[in-house]
Chain A
């Protein structure tokens, strides 16, 4: 059987292309998998694919027991459309991802990947990575069984995630980590713990996404102890960040496990972040928060890590509702729990739309004319502002030092440049 599969795959991968209909119009070399292709044939095709090959799947459902691993440059995985071609990993018994690529020039498009046992589609250490019109989801009603990351490029350069639908990840739906030159646009990310996460990355443009019904919508932050120590130059604009009130279902111990349900966006330990043109609606803990890593209650030993947010510019966003029912379910002390008990002290019994933890790096004291961390709040319609003064907490009453005086932070910062890289269509 194996020998037969090999022969079939050799015929398919051929000595210069295929003439079957699935490959028609596809640049050679092309390898195709018809609706009855077995896992062995598909695995053989992946193993034999030469550089630059497009691997085309017919419409249909393809079941896997093992992950698909890409180790050749320039591979494109192409289906017949989201929910038309389904790579089904519900019977997977080996491999930590559904698809793993370690090679540059990786593209996946027009396909659905579902019920991977671990992560969905992970790409490590590659340049030029595209996820286009890709649907990644988990369907088990017990969402704690879902894999952590759906779209998972890490240590990559020139990353594009667009027009995709991501749902159900038990950590982050779209997770871009330790990468640079990143565009995440026009995706729908829902029912994950984190909808979109930009972590320890540089030069990211996150726009026109719809992040809804997650625990947290769009998160921008840096963690200590990694090979890339910081997160900077991020634009988050023209997104819908709505109703992210799903109970946190991440495993305890995961950093997103401490995100309170009802979080629109938080920016933590990041620099040069511009947030504009977004709609924040009905995120019940807080629509938008700027915090330092210390708020997480964790300690760190990474001497190259800077835990504070600096140069954060938030302007021209629209806010509707939210902040009215902070998540107090998390273990104490938690930001959600503190916000919940603070509500009676807050104007209108709700958390401000734009919240800063108010913690100033002592080394920056006195800089920037009373705004040493360069937190700039521009015009945001009727949005309310709150400085939580996180250094003044009463365990019974919450943020007793909080104030709503936005005046020191009414300023502008230079715009963060849009991201572009070769091959990116605007």
Chain B
């Protein structure tokens, strides 16, 4: 009996001889240490201006391009990465995130690997308790994690490691799986590469030979950092937060295209980004309110109700969060409060 599954595995050709590997270590991309990861040569870490909130998980992002290959710059969309590119994101939590380097634990590393047909393969790897290896887990998982948030609040997350299918809710709503983060506006910021090197990421990528066609950062678009007032007004940062947290679905081709609510910063029609917009299919998600955003009145805005909820079926985003992003919610509240006019 013991041998039967093994024989079948060999017969399927899925026994670790080729991608996807069962163990993350087989890719030789990163090494775990003390609840963090360090990257192998040729793997370039990066950060985003206003990233997706994921239960206050600490995130480490990196990309590895095939030797000698480069991505093509695009001012608006994700860069065109060559076949064989691996984009990786590692999620960890520290017991007290005011001190994120003490006793942190790795939970998962997600890989996106660009296939020959230019599609991306999304692979969730879950770290073991010994913190020595992460194993491919297409079923995902939902560990309960107690921690103190960066703001000092005690939180209990039912942290969602998405199933492979759920990866596609954000990445593949229209049949084209794509990466979300590595866009000019998100990458256009400084990064500390260690050894005293702090450099703009677009510049660094160009100099490293992994990005072609990039302009000087001053000529590239830049998304405000939601919690850094020096990067934009309340309105600009609120719209940036909505783009980073909602627009992967709420855009004219995303999973939420059927709602008519579109939250990219580039959306300029107020009713399309929620001002006095009535919901379409919210159900109990309305919270008893009439409009997505009521200028001047966050307490009667459906959008606020849904980003403050942790109930599945009501909360937004629909997946990937089980605690409230208090700082993000406060920014959205401040923005809505600053708007004038009300609704009919």
Contact of A254 with B286 at beta-carbon distance under 8 Å, contacts A43-B140, A66-B160, A118-B313 already known? yes
* Contact status A254-B283, CB under 8 Å: yes
* Contact status B163-A251, CB under 8 Å: no
* Contact status B284-A144, CB under 8 Å: yes
Q: How far is the CA of A154 from the CA of B287 in the complex (A)?
A: 23
Asked whether any CB of chain B lies closer than 8 Å to the CB of A22, the reply is: no
Residues in B neighbouring A8, C-beta threshold 8 A: 5
* Contact status B313-A93, CB under 8 Å: no
Residues in B neighbouring A7, C-beta threshold 8 A: 5, 9
Asked whether any CB of chain B lies closer than 8 Å to the CB of A253, the reply is: yes
A23-62 residues with Cβ-Cβ distance < 8 A to B are 39-41, 43-44, 46-48
Overall SS of chain B's interface:
loop
Residues in B neighbouring A66, C-beta threshold 8 A: 140, 142, 160, 163, 166
* Contact status A254-B319, CB under 8 Å: no
Residues in A neighbouring B286, C-beta threshold 8 A: 251-254, 257
Asked whether any CB of chain A lies closer than 8 Å to the CB of B186, the reply is: no
Closest chain B residue to A93 by CB distance? B158
Which of B255, B260, B285, B290 lies in contact with A227, CB distance below 8 A? B260
* Contact status B168-A69, CB under 8 Å: yes
Please classify how large the interface on chain A is, using the bins under 10, 10 to 19, 20 to 34, 35 or more: 35 or more
A257-315 residues with Cβ-Cβ distance < 8 A to B are 257, 298-299, 301
Segment at the A interface, from B91-99, B273-281, B332-340? B273-281
* Contact status A6-B8, CB under 8 Å: no
* Contact status A124-B258, CB under 8 Å: yes
- With a 10 A CB-CB cut-off, give which of B139, B175, B285 has the most chain A CB atoms: B139
Would you give the shortest CB distance from B173 to chain A, in whole angstroms? 6
Q: How far is the CA of A69 from the CA of B165 in the complex (A)?
A: 5
* Contact status A253-B277, CB under 8 Å: no
Task: Mark each residue of chain A from 127 to 157: 1 if its CB lies under 8 Å from any CB of chain B, else 0.
Answer: 0000000000000000011011100101100
* Contact status A298-B278, CB under 8 Å: yes
Asked whether any CB of chain A lies closer than 8 Å to the CB of B297, the reply is: no
Overall SS of chain A's interface:
mixed
Asked whether any CB of chain A lies closer than 8 Å to the CB of B50, the reply is: no
Q: How far is the CA of A118 from the CA of B283 in the complex (A)?
A: 8
Which of A10, A93, A253 lies in contact with B282, CB distance below 8 A? A253
Residues in A neighbouring B136, C-beta threshold 8 A: 6
Residues in B neighbouring A68, C-beta threshold 8 A: 165
Which of A70, A177, A253 lies in contact with B290, CB distance below 8 A? A253
Q: How far is the CA of A253 from the CA of B173 in the complex (A)?
A: 27
Residues in A neighbouring B302, C-beta threshold 8 A: 253
* Contact status B289-A102, CB under 8 Å: no
Contact of A251 with B138 at beta-carbon distance under 8 Å, contacts A71-B172, A93-B312, A226-B280 already known? no
Q: How far is the CA of A148 from the CA of B287 in the complex (A)?
A: 13
Asked whether any CB of chain A lies closer than 8 Å to the CB of B12, the reply is: yes
Would you give the shortest CB distance from B286 to chain A, in whole angstroms? 3
Asked whether any CB of chain B lies closer than 8 Å to the CB of A223, the reply is: yes
Would you give the shortest CB distance from B174 to chain A, in whole angstroms? 7
Q: How far is the CA of A147 from the CA of B249 in the complex (A)?
A: 20
* Contact status B135-A170, CB under 8 Å: no
Task: Mark each residue of chain B from 72 to 90: 1 if its CB lies under 8 Å from any CB of chain A, else 0.
Answer: 0000000000000000000
Please classify how large the interface on chain B is, using the bins under 10, 10 to 19, 20 to 34, 35 or more: 35 or more
Which of B8, B142, B168 lies in contact with A65, CB distance below 8 A? B142
* Contact status B282-A100, CB under 8 Å: no
Residues in A neighbouring B164, C-beta threshold 8 A: 47, 71
* Contact status B165-A47, CB under 8 Å: yes
Asked whether any CB of chain B lies closer than 8 Å to the CB of A239, the reply is: no
Which of B158, B260, B311 lies in contact with A117, CB distance below 8 A? B311
Q: How far is the CA of A39 from the CA of B287 in the complex (A)?
A: 31
Residues in A neighbouring B311, C-beta threshold 8 A: 117
Residues in A neighbouring B140, C-beta threshold 8 A: 43, 66
Asked whether any CB of chain B lies closer than 8 Å to the CB of A119, the reply is: yes
Asked whether any CB of chain B lies closer than 8 Å to the CB of A411, the reply is: no
Contact of A251 with B313 at beta-carbon distance under 8 Å, contacts A6-B138, A125-B174, A155-B258 already known? no
Q: How far is the CA of A39 from the CA of B14 in the complex (A)?
A: 22
Closest chain A residue to B139 by CB distance? A43
Asked whether any CB of chain B lies closer than 8 Å to the CB of A94, the reply is: yes
Asked whether any CB of chain B lies closer than 8 Å to the CB of A96, the reply is: yes
Asked whether any CB of chain A lies closer than 8 Å to the CB of B59, the reply is: no
B27-84 residues with Cβ-Cβ distance < 8 A to A are none
* Contact status A47-B169, CB under 8 Å: no
* Contact status A102-B169, CB under 8 Å: yes
B296-344 residues with Cβ-Cβ distance < 8 A to A are 302, 311-314, 318-319, 322, 344
Q: How far is the CA of A68 from the CA of B278 in the complex (A)?
A: 29
* Contact status A171-B281, CB under 8 Å: yes
* Contact status A94-B8, CB under 8 Å: no
Contact of A15 with B278 at beta-carbon distance under 8 Å, contacts A71-B168, A227-B258, A251-B285 already known? no
Q: How far is the CA of A70 from the CA of B167 in the complex (A)?
A: 11
Asked whether any CB of chain B lies closer than 8 Å to the CB of A3, the reply is: yes
B192-235 residues with Cβ-Cβ distance < 8 A to A are none
- With a 10 A CB-CB cut-off, give which of B12, B136, B344 has the most chain A CB atoms: B12
* Contact status B257-A47, CB under 8 Å: no
* Contact status A3-B135, CB under 8 Å: yes
Task: Mark each residue of chain A from 82 to 122: 1 if its CB lies under 8 Å from any CB of chain B, else 0.
Answer: 00000000001111100010100000000000001111000
> A95-B319, A225-B271, A253-B290 provided; 6 other pairs, C-beta below 8 A?
A66-B160, A68-B165, A96-B318, A154-B281, A250-B283, A252-B290
- A and B contact pairs by CB, cutoff 8 A, 26 listed: A2-B139, A2-B141, A6-B139, A8-B5, A10-B5, A10-B14, A39-B139, A43-B139, A46-B165, A47-B165, A66-B140, A69-B165, A69-B169, A71-B164, A93-B142, A102-B169, A118-B314, A119-B283, A125-B173, A144-B284, A148-B313, A149-B283, A170-B284, A177-B281, A226-B258, A298-B278
**Interface residues, chain B, with chain A CB atoms under 8 Å away:** 4-5, 8-9, 11-12, 14, 22, 126, 135-142, 158, 160, 163-166, 168-169, 172-175, 252, 255, 257-258, 260, 271-272, 277-291, 302, 311-314, 318-319, 322, 344
Closest 6 CB pairs of A and B: A148-B283, A118-B313, A69-B165, A253-B286, A47-B138, A43-B139
